[in-house]
A and B are shown apart, each in its own frame.
Chain A
Amino acid sequence: MLYNIHLSIDVDVAMPVEDKSKSLLPFLSSPKLLPDESEAEFESGLQSLLSELDNPSPLAVALVSQLNECLWWIRRHTVDKELLLHEAMARLLSKAGSYSEAYDNRKVSEALEHYLDGSADKDEAAWIDEILAESKLTLSDLRIRAFKDAARHIKMVDDLIHRQHQTIRHLQRSIDSIDYKSRLIKRMDLELAALESKQSVKEVSSLDAKPS
């Protein structure tokens, strides 16, 4: 069962923005985490990304938050690739040999999951070893066959990861554009101030030069 956990990013504490009341994040929906995911880890990722920016604008902070979510999605999808393999391995085992009626797919799946992460008890491990022996497969053979079996779905997950990379590239270009724009505005402000001061100096000198 999955539950939604809404991340409430504490803008006052977390965001290194000039004026923290001007953050865009309260007006955008927050990224959500799955129940087994660490909120602290998610936020520390965001903070480390933000720390790489020099005085980011509110829009840049909002984009960095989206970028952090993309990185998080890449992690999720990478875990899914392994899960897909496990699913396919369990499917192959449950219908291995002439035992298609004997093995419950869900039970095999759970036992295999424990077996692969090393948390299986003696009975489960013995059971999986027995099924592998009956189906005349080693674990690596099973993995290879499962990879072939799950290839279509693994390709889908690769597409999803590729999409997140593309999204990150878009976000980076947008952040660069905002940074360039703000530097350009600052430079123009400085040039304007310099021109104004020059102008005022000229006016003063022209007043001084006038014969009384």
Chain B
Amino acid sequence: MARILIVDDEEDVRIALKQVLERAGYEVTVAATGNEGLDVMKREGADLVITDVIMPGVDGIATAKQIREKYRDTRIIVISGGGRTAPDPYEPDAISTRSYLASASKAGADQTLTKPFDRDELLRVVRDLLDES
């Protein structure tokens, strides 16, 4: 069964996602920060990482970028509330109107999801990425 790592600083999101994914039959690990998530990856690894984009410390984009660099086969989903603009990691000086999600795609995320998404939407994306459809 595929292993999924959830990185989100919001406990409620972590719990809800964990429950939904576990009910769908996945093995789920959670991490509250980007660094914690990278530790989990080092220790246990994961087939799929779902990370929030705005987090204290290492944010979702940096997390996605590092995971993409180190673990080529791990799929990444970046999720966001959608309402903030982010600097482009490749053009930090440019005044950007890109959303975090667009930046995340550029940083290596396979898929992005805008909150609030429902269970079906999430599972469809997860199955797509894990080639289970």
A, B from the same assembly: no
Binding site for B on A (CB under 8 A): none
